[in-house]
Structure 1
Amino acid sequence: MGMEKEGESTCEPATPVLRISQLDALELDSALEQLLWTQLCHCFQNLRPGLLTPLEPELKALLQLLLWRFTLYPGSATVGQSLLSLRYRNISTSPNLRKSLSHRQKLALLLLTVGPRWLQERSHSLRRCLGLTSGAPLSDGFQKALRNSLAALSGLARLASLVNFLAFLRTGYHPVLAERMVGAQAVFSEPSVTRDVTYQYVNRELLWHGFAEFLIFLLPLINTSKVKASIYSFVLGGDPSGVGGARDKEGAWRECALCGEWPTMPHALGCPHVFCYYCIKSQSIANNCVRCPKCGTEARRLEPAKIETLLRH
């Protein structure tokens, strides 16, 4: 994360940041806060259950303060923005200058980010202390007016956030209302470099993409078991000893020639090998001409395997 001096500015035109990049930066910041909170909870998991619950809003605000102190305050960029090569710039003075945020703007951004979250999580406790909870009897008109004012203020804040987000979708600037209020705008931390993509590169990528789609369409149509059996039969001449090595014939019935497991409902094709009924049946449904993948013997008749018959082969 680059350190910037107060008041540093350049006259280079800023390349607009994609909307999805700004939203991704917010999601990364939220994920980091959640990760830190989870790690903090794990530190107290062996203590009394519910120990952190009464102080949860304050502890979360403290974590956000620490993140602000070591990320946004020294470098004008959050963790999510740093991962995406973004940072904040000050547009309150001159929109065309890449000037970093002032200390006052950074502090205001902290208060407008942490403060509303803390108030939202503590709103029920605060209303209960003031006797403004819903259903509670109100002693005078002042408490009633105060409760209505707080409800209207909360609704107004949500409406302002919605309008700001709609404006962000329209213009591509300030996804958070606090950024618009303090005059902070996300820009690239380094001037963007134009990438020159040649015609040969694009043509090669299109050709490879078309070839990959053709393979994805073709591979499911190939009967790999039949191809494997044909290769074994051609290379090894149909000799089962060439495939099984030094394994004796007495052990051939102990595993399925297709799946390699102990055969379930063993069946045979007329060769010394056995198959699970469901393995060989699925092969016969997919292919009319079934061959043994071990020796290449073509299936004559599928019948339950008998050890005496297998040992005679």
Structure 2
Amino acid sequence: MASADPQSSRGAAEADGRGGGGGAPPIDAWLRAWRAIAPQWDQMRAKAKRVPDIPILRVNQIDAARLDVEMTAMLREQLGKVFSLSQPGLLLRYEPELNAFLEFLVWRFSIWVDKPTPGNALMNLRYRNERSYKTYLNLGRVRTGLEGAGLTKTQKILYCLFVVGGRYAWARLQLISAFQRWGDRQRTSWARRAWLLLQKTESLYKIAGFANLILFLHSGRYPSIVERLLGARLVYEKADMNRAVSFEYMNRQLVWHEFSELLLLVLPLLNMMSIRKVLMFPFSTQASVSSLPEDACPICEANPIITPYMALPCCHVYCYYCIRTRSLSDRNFKCARCNISVVALKRHQVEVDLSETQ
């Protein structure tokens, strides 16, 4: 067999690549096609690498804060039962200190040890240091949007000082100013100035709280001012946990509440004496009242009548309390003896014949 010349075969391939005959397309066509679709490909890769933004339900964050308050109230109630036999008013005197102690216990065994508070645990939430979250983004360690380290020690201590210490200091100052009547002092006294400063501080805090609430409703982040200042954001602890809450108990409470409100609205409008009279009519007879003696009360059947009063215009005698209550409860009250409408009451004067007594 004759061997093929390698140089001649290489030259033929190069000739075909330069566009000789009906071979493969030129290399420049591939480059032009790649350059045309490269921007779209880069955009698709950027969208694929974009971190998913998982919205944290606002109702979960508000419910978590409310549950923490309820937990503290339950602990306060149990502690009150322990000191129920102590000196009366002892717990009321030290109520700010007691609340601060209970809130400190909740903080010590939850936030300080990198665990969620009882309310956050029930709502599948935890605190994340939002300032260090950007580091995870730059390193490319974020996939679900829930990654991130917990709070630092500085953030934990500041949280305790602002929340626990701030609430205690404010409550104690309010009690001191109320008992010592700083607001009633002279305008030039330091107590009056301190009281005015407290009022202005409270107003500014309420305005700041309202502004923070508007921002929270808009963005869904930082339900409190302290969390916004510290950069402590509530995120889901588990991404695959379903929000399955049973509203059966709540529905029963709502139904009972609405029913009780309806009863409180309707019952004062009803005439209970008329309803009782209609219900008891088949079981009562007029003969039973007519068979009573004249000196007996037709309502309570007391003989002799206690504090006798006459029903006008029929002049039948009743006990004062019996006919007074019936006439007040029923404006169309009729005499039990003659069935005539009673329009007025008059004290019954018993006439005594002195000649007979002598």
**Cα distance, 1:85–1:14 mapped onto 2, change above 3 Å:** farther
Larger Rg: 2
Determine if the alignment matches structure 1 residue 133 to structure 2 residue 182.
Answer: yes
Question: What's the TM-score once normalised by structure 2's chain length?
Answer: 0.47
Give identity over the alignment, percent: 31
Deviations along 1:200-242, one digit per CA (max 9) or x if unpaired, are xxxxxxxxxxxxxxxxxxxxxxxxxxxxxxxxxxxxxxxxxxx
Name the aligned partner's letter for residue 152 of structure 1.
Answer: K
Q: Which consecutive unaligned segments of at least 5 residues does structure 1 have?
A: 1-10, 196-263, 266-313
Pick which of 39-48 and 112-121 moved more. Answer: 112-121
Name the aligned partner's letter for residue 68 of structure 1.
Answer: W
Determine if the alignment matches structure 1 residue 150 to structure 2 residue 198.
Answer: yes
Cα distance, 1:19 vs structure 2 = 0.3
Which residue number corresponds to residue 271 of structure 2?
none
Determine if the alignment matches structure 1 residue 31 to structure 2 residue 70.
Answer: yes
Deviations along 1:80-99, one digit per CA (max 9) or x if unpaired, are 11112110100123345512
State how far apart, in whole Å, the 2-side matches of 1:43 and 1:12 are. 52
Determine if the alignment matches structure 1 residue 114 to structure 2 residue 130.
Answer: no
Q: How does 1:40-189 map to 2 (within 5 A)?
A: 40-95=79-134, 96=137, 98-127=148-177, 133-140=182-189, 144-189=192-237
Pick which of 86-95 and 165-174 moved more. Answer: 86-95
State how far apart, in whole Å, the 1-side matches of 2:238 and 2:115 are. 13
**Cα distance, 1:48–1:193 mapped onto 2, change above 3 Å:** closer
Secondary structure of the structure 1 residue equivalent to 2:126? strand
State how far apart, in whole Å, the 2-side matches of 1:146 and 1:56 are. 22
Q: Which consecutive unaligned segments of at least 5 residues does structure 2 have?
A: 1-49, 138-146, 244-281, 284-358
Secondary structure of the structure 1 residue equivalent to 2:87? coil
Cα distance, 1:146 vs structure 2 = 3.8
Deviations along 1:25-55, one digit per CA (max 9) or x if unpaired, are 0111011000000000000112221121111
Q: Compute the RMSD of aligned alpha carbons.
A: 2.8
Q: Which structure is higher in RCO with an 8 Å CA cutoff and minimum separation 6?
A: 1
State how far apart, in whole Å, the 2-side matches of 1:180 and 1:187 are. 14
Secondary structure of the structure 1 residue equivalent to 2:158? helix
Cα distance, 1:66 vs structure 2 = 0.7
Secondary structure of the structure 2 residue equivalent to 1:71? coil
Which residue number corresponds to residue 321 of structure 2?
none
Name the aligned partner's letter for residue 164 of structure 2.
Answer: V
**Cα distance, 1:61–1:82 mapped onto 2, change above 3 Å:** same
**Cα distance, 1:94–1:42 mapped onto 2, change above 3 Å:** same
Aligned length: 185
State how far apart, in whole Å, the 2-side matches of 1:46 and 1:73 are. 34
Are 2:187 and 2:193, in contact at CA under 8 Å, matched by a contact in 1?
Answer: no
Question: What's the TM-score once normalised by structure 1's chain length?
Answer: 0.53
Which residue number corresponds to residue 15 of structure 1?
54
**Cα distance, 1:110–1:194 mapped onto 2, change above 3 Å:** closer
